[in-house]
């Protein structure tokens, strides 16, 4: 078996619980390594640190799977890890039949994400090694949760391309099924496996539900980057009088319209297909003001090198959004960029508010991703979502 030797910094991180080894932390390798091969990892001094999947063509050189030399990496290992991850969601977090079943390295399965939507499991793989075992993983999912009848392979996106893997979207195992209806708080949503990501953004679930308590009845709400209407539907169901939802994807807006009809709130809602900045500028020119503005943009920072440019994009969208919040209104603003830490995000919001002539007060503590997307304390990469509920006042 080939070997990978890592520097002192990477060794310390692994000993604290990290499971990802970046190429910059590798000192040398021994033996031929092809994408997806299982390798052993050692410190500079030759101490065994673990073994996992390697990919010499990726920025992530090794995804660690075990720190025990005699543990075999096979279906039984995956099944046991999936079982424990599922048990955590069911017994500790008390989720029903809609939740993130596996969240990568936070569940000791780096390169694997599994979302459960009733009897459908959506599978995302971003590791060449895990790709080799995906049928084993699918079988393990159905064995752990017999109520799951379909495993849908949702293997698309940048992470696949970076690993040199093909993009695939199909039923991998079980019944040919693509759609289901889920319940979330007081709202219902159609989940289609052929949409973005794994069909629905479960990480914002608690934040969407939290929005409902700020709807007293009769509010005017703006939801920018609405996707399939998540925050917007919750606002309408909770009693908002008028909700405008914007997204540049016609397909997403069509699904949002279906969700509005499903919840019986289509008469309260206006859907706009368009880019965020020009659409917000149009609303400003009309003199529109909203009781609540929600900003949940895509990740503007994909890599550390993009941090400065990405923060500027967050600044611009929040500045435009703040100009649309009435005096005494609420801004809900989010970032799903893991490279933007909380302090940088807060500093950006403060600067945007100053330019817009607004004072901000935190309505509640900093919110993050739903607990079925657990944050592994030893890995900052598992903590990515930031969500702030802010009370907005005009500077006078």
pLDDT of res. 198: 62
Question: Both 203 and 79 in a single domain?
Answer: no
Q: What is the side-by-side strand order in the sheet with 38-43? A: 20-22, 60-66, 48-54, 38-43, 3-6, 26-30
Q: Which domain holds residue 97?
A: 75-177
**Residue 63 and residue 52 in contact, taking contact as beta carbons nearer than 8 Å:** yes
Does residue 252 share a domain with residue 217?
yes
The alpha carbon torsion through 86, 384, 192, 161 (nearest 10 deg) reads -100
Mean pLDDT on 358-381: 91
**Span 4-11, average pLDDT:** 95
Domain boundary among 177, 206, 221: 177
Give the pLDDT of residue 162.
Answer: 80
- State the average pLDDT over residues 157-176: 89
Same domain membership, residue 325 and residue 201: yes
Question: How far is Cα 127 from Cα 120, in angstroms, rounded to an integer?
Answer: 22
| pLDDT band (50, 70, 90) for residue 299 | confident
Do residues 244 and 292 share a domain? yes
The answer to whether 205 and 95 are in contact (CB under 8 A) is no
Evaluate if residue 239 carries a pLDDT over 70: yes
Same domain for 335 and 201: yes
| CATH value at residue 41 | 2.30.130.10
Q: Are residues 358 and 328 in the same domain?
A: yes
Shared domain check, 366 and 239: yes
Given 66, 87, 111, the domain boundary residue is 66
Q: What is the C-alpha separation between 266 and 237, in angstroms, rounded?
A: 10
Q: What pLDDT is attached to residue 301?
A: 79
Check pLDDT > 80 for residue 91.
Answer: yes
Task: Please tell me the predicted confidence (pLDDT) of residue 184.
Answer: 95
Same domain, 46 and 83: no
* Mean pLDDT lowest among 152-161, 235-244, 282-291: 152-161
> For position 332, which CATH number holds?
3.40.50.150
pLDDT value, residue 379: 78
pLDDT digits 0-9 by tens, 27-68: 999 999 999 999 999 999 999 999 999 999 988 999 999 999
Rounded-to-integer distance, Cα 384 and Cα 380, Å? 8
User: In terms of domains, do 167 and 47 share one?
Assistant: no
Which of 265, 336, 340, 385 is catalytic? The answer is 336
pLDDT at 197: 61
What end-to-end distance do the CA atoms of the chain give, in Å?
69
Tens of pLDDT, residues 112-142: 999 999 999 999 999 999 999 999 999 999 9
Average pLDDT on 20-31 reads 94
Q: What is the overall mean pLDDT for the chain?
A: 94
Q: Is 387 labeled as catalytic in the residue annotation?
A: no
Tokens of 15: 């000993």
Q: Do 140 and 225 fall within a single domain?
A: no
Domain boundary among 127, 151, 177: 177
122 and 34 part of one domain: no
Residues 232 and 247 in one domain: yes
Residue 298 has pLDDT above 70, yes or no: yes
CATH for 166: 3.30.750.80
The tens digit of pLDDT for each residue in 254-289 reads: 999 999 999 999 999 999 999 999 999 999 999 999
The count of structural domains within the chain is 3
């Amino acid at each position: 078996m080939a070997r990978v030797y890592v520097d002192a910094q990477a060794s310390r991180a692994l000993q604290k619980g990290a499971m990802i080894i970046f190429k910059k932390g590798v000192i040398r390798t021994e033996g031929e390594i092809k994408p997806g091969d299982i390798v052993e990892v050692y410190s500079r001094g030759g101490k065994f640190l673990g073994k996992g999947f390697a990919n010499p063509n990726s920025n992530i050189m090794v995804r660690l799977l075990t720190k025990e030399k005699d543990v075999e990496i096979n279906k039984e290992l995956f099944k046991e890890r999936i079982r424990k991850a599922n048990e955590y969601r069911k017994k500790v977090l008390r989720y029903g039949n809609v939740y993130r079943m596996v969240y990568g390295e936070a569940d000791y399965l780096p390169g694997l994400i599994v979302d459960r939507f009733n009897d459908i499991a959506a599978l995302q793989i971003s590791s060449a090694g895990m790709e080799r075992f995906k049928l084993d993983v699918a079988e393990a999912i159905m064995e752990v949760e017999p109520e799951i009848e379909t495993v849908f392979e949702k293997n698309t996106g940048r992470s696949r391309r970076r690993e040199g893997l093909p993009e695939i979207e199909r039923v991998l195992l079980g019944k040919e099924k693509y759609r289901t209806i889920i319940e979330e708080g007081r709202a219902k949503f159609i989940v289609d496996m052929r949409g973005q990501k794994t069909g629905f953004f479960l990480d914002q679930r608690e934040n969407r539900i939290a929005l409902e308590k700020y709807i007293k009845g009769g509010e005017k709400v703006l939801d920018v980057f609405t996707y399939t209407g998540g925050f917007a539907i919750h606002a309408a169901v909770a009693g908002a009088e008028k909700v405008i939802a914007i997204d540049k994807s016609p397909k997403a807006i069509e699904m949002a319209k279906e969700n509005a009809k499903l919840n019986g709130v289509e008469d309260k809602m206006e859907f706009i297909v368009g880019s965020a900045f020009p659409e917000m500028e149009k609303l400003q020119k009309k003199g529109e003001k909203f009781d609540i503005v929600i900003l949940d943009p895509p990740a503007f920072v994909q890599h550390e090198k993009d941090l400065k440019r990405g923060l500027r994009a967050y600044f611009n969208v929040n500045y435009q959004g703040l100009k649309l919040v009435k005096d005494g209104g609420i801004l809900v603003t989010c970032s799903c960029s893991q490279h933007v830490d909380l302090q940088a995000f807060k500093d950006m919001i403060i600067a945007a508010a100053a330019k817009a002539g607004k004072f901000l007060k935190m309505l509640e503590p900093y919110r993050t991703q739903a607990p079925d997307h657990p944050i592994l304390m030893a890995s900052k990469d598992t903590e990515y979502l930031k969500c702030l509920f802010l009370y907005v006042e005009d500077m006078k």
